[in-house]
Amino acid sequence: MKSTAKLSAIGAYVPEQRLTNQDLEKLVDTSDEWIVRRTGMKERRIAGPEQFSSDLACAAVKDLVARYQSDLHDTDLVIVSTTTPDYGFPSVSARVQAAFQLKQAGAIDLSAACSGFEYALHVANGLVTSGLHKKILVIAAETMSKVTDYSDRTTCVLLGDGASAALVERSEENGAFLGAYMGADGSLGKALYRTGLSTVMDGAKLVDTGKMIQNGREVYKWAVKTVTTGIPELLKNSGLSIEDIDWFIPHSANLRLIEAVFDRLNVPMDKVLYSLEYYGNTSSASIGLALSDAVKEGKIKKNDRLLLYGFGGGLCHCGQVIEWNA
């Protein structure tokens, strides 16, 4: 089905507090040289004690409104991707709906971990293109620091907090969503999880700390294989070749992983955008943060074709090709 939805605005927010590699050297047995060599990260942003995912989400929406002078009064749905909601319920999306007094808007949270922003964009495009909705606010907001074990040096060096927001609205002439591809392998769920009501998965007892647990080696292998094979499928679904893409924006999980993927695809790294160097891995917020920064810096131009690809917990993945016409 041809898309009749466009991405008309982007916004982002990161907390003020920085957690540098030098700060981490004081917490665990690590070093700036080791972290940069293994991940490409130099610092992350950390939410304050009284700052939660809904606060970051609202700040990202405010940035979107300020940058594009967007009118939200006729927004008819709010979709928030988050793995770190303030509460079991009410949802983060409902808190955003209330904060902006979007009285006519529905509100749903979507959980697809690091690929959540792309899943949410896919859902928004489908709802707008079908005619069920006209304007949808899509947000990815994560406070990963609140579920990070800062005694685990393999994961605490990776994670940061942030939020990104996008407005998806009807446009008969300028449908921006050119193609999508998604999938999941739930059998690998034990490679990346955080316990909830259940502490057993597939008959195996989970480490029940309430913090994120990751088998980095398994996730790395799955991600490289999945994204390397997924991007050609996404391009095929979009009717495009790899040369038709102006910018590639993968989930900012780890720079070495990103380099491995695009080396296999023969894509030069100067066509790849990421947000991990100064924000860390912000889960579902990372692609929106990279997109927002690139737009601010003037890298992304009107009618550029962007390939977004999220991957992570679930284990889920989702890619989108979007024509930039904000």
- Domain locations in the chain as residue ranges: 5-170, 177-324
- What's the confidence (pLDDT) of residue 237? 97
Q: Specify the DSSP element, H or E, that contains 67.
A: helix 53-68
**pLDDT band per the 50, 70, 90 thresholds, residue 1:** confident
Pick from 174, 166, 95, 92: nearest CA to 129: 174
- What's the confidence (pLDDT) of residue 129? 97
What is 177-324's CATH topology? Peroxisomal Thiolase; Chain A, domain 1 (3.40.47)
pLDDT per residue over 164-205, tens digit each? Answer: 999 999 998 889 999 999 999 999 999 998 999 889 989 999
- What's the confidence (pLDDT) of residue 251? 98
The token pair at 182 is 């998604």
**pLDDT band per the 50, 70, 90 thresholds, residue 326:** confident
Residue 218 has pLDDT above 90, yes or no: yes
Residues 6+ apart with CB under 8 A from 63: 11, 12, 13, 165, 292
Residue matched to tokens 């094979």: 229
Paired strand residues for 305: 323
Catalytic member of 114, 156, 316, 318: 114
The token pair at 102 is 């979007």
pLDDT per residue over 9-54, tens digit each? Answer: 999 999 999 999 999 999 999 999 999 999 999 999 999 999 999 9
Contact status, residue 180 vs residue 320, Cβ threshold 8 Å: yes
- Give, in degrees to the nearest 5, the angle at Cα 315 between 60 and 107: 40
> What dihedral angle (degrees, nearest 10) is formed by the CA atoms of 277, 320, 324, 1?
-170
User: Check: CATH 3.40.47.10 for 5-170?
Assistant: yes
Average pLDDT, integer, range 60-71: 97
Please say if 251 is a catalytic residue.
Answer: yes
Burial class (CB in 10 A: 0-12, 13-18, 19+), 24: buried
Residue 143 has pLDDT above 90, yes or no: yes
- Share the mean pLDDT of the chain: 96
How far is Cα of residue 114 from the mean position of the Cα atoms in its chain?
5
Catalytic member of 251, 254, 316, 318: 251
- What's the confidence (pLDDT) of residue 173? 84
DSSP secondary structure letters along 101-129: T-TT-EEEEE--GGGHHHHHHHHHHHHHH
Share of the chain residues as helix, strand and coil, in percent rounded to the nearest 5 = 40, 25, 35
- What's the confidence (pLDDT) of residue 297? 97
Contact status, residue 144 vs residue 19, Cβ threshold 8 Å: no
How far is Cα of residue 160 from the mean position of the Cα atoms in its chain?
12
Please say if 281 is a catalytic residue.
Answer: yes
Cα distances from 287 to residues 80, 163, 235, in angstroms, run: 14, 10, 18
- What's the confidence (pLDDT) of residue 172? 83
- What's the confidence (pLDDT) of residue 291? 98
The reply to whether 177-324 shares the fold of 5-170 is yes
How far is Cα of residue 313 from the mean position of the Cα atoms in its chain?
12
Cα distances from 35 to residues 15, 150, 168, in angstroms, run: 21, 15, 37
Paired strand residues for 43: 20
Residue 322 has pLDDT above 90, yes or no: yes
- What's the confidence (pLDDT) of residue 259? 98
pLDDT per residue over 94-129, tens digit each? Answer: 999 999 999 999 999 999 999 999 999 999 999 999
- What's the confidence (pLDDT) of residue 47? 98
Spatial distance between the Cα atoms of 127 and 41, rounded to a whole number of angstroms: 37
Average pLDDT, integer, range 148-177: 95
Contact status, residue 9 vs residue 325, Cβ threshold 8 Å: no
Q: What percent of the chain has pLDDT over 90?
A: 94
- What's the confidence (pLDDT) of residue 231? 98
- What's the confidence (pLDDT) of residue 174? 82
Residue 264 has pLDDT above 90, yes or no: yes
Instruction: Compare 326 and 149 and report the one with higher pLDDT.
Output: 149
Q: Specify the DSSP element, H or E, that contains 234.
A: helix 216-238
Catalytic member of 21, 125, 254, 281: 281
